[in-house]
Amino acid sequence: GAVVSQHPSWVICKSGTSVKIECRSLDFQATTMFWYRQFPKQSLMLMATSNEGSKATYEQGVEKDKFLINHASLTLSTLTVTSAHPEDSSFYICSASLNRGYETQYFGPGTRLLVL
Amino acid sequence: QQPVQSPQAVILREGEDAVINCSSSKALYSVHWYRQKHGEAPVFLMILLKGGEQKGHEKISASFNEKKQQSSLYLTASQLSYSGTYFCGTGTQGAQKLVFGQGTRLTINP
């Protein structure tokens, strides 16, 4: 149980384009989903917390207009990187949790984004 | 603030034991331990919710000292499959999010 999927697993795009990443909880309803960014050999940096049906709460320094998060259902959250630039290249990982985040977070397999 | 993990890296031979520590400057409600292998997402190991609680999972166990705001992960008789980077994620009362430590890279050699 507690399986989270992400799609796509890899994406290469040109600078200036937008990229959408999907995060799905496959066998449970996730009231809360989290989006992280991880650079090589570094820790997981939280970008935003997304509660189903509510606007996402962004961490300090994360541009909400650049990283659009939608959590329209209990099994799906999306992260859209708008007007991507090479510095946005990273490993993006989502996690999903029951009980509005106060319990275990289960991570998706991650999406590698390369912006050329 | 980010919890501090120690050591930053450790190299063991198969069968040896390891302890990874996680220390926070904030009062903690929970500590979550994850293992991440290269190029993959973190995998949940265990969650500790009470002060002084110790939990076990096969040969991997952990303790949580709420008063000291510390947690330790114990790996006994390590196996090659234990290699990876271990992260502790700390939760505070009333907060949905976790704050992760910088990670401890564990290498197990045959």
DSSP states of B31-71 as a string? EEEEEE-TTS--EEEEEE-STT-EEEETTEEEEEETTTTEE
B42 touches chain A (CB under 8 A): yes
Tens of pLDDT along B34-53? 999 988 989 999 888 866 66
Rounded Cα gap, residues B95 and B80, in angstroms: 36
The share of chain A scoring above pLDDT 90, in percent, equals 75
Using the beta-carbon criterion (under 8 Å), do A108 and B41 form an inter-chain contact?
yes
B38 touches chain A (CB under 8 A): no
Are A115 and A47 in contact by the 8 Å Cβ rule? The answer is no
The confidence score (pLDDT) of residue B51 equals 61
Tens of pLDDT along A4-13? 999 999 999 9
Rounded Cα gap, residues A24 and B91, in angstroms: 23
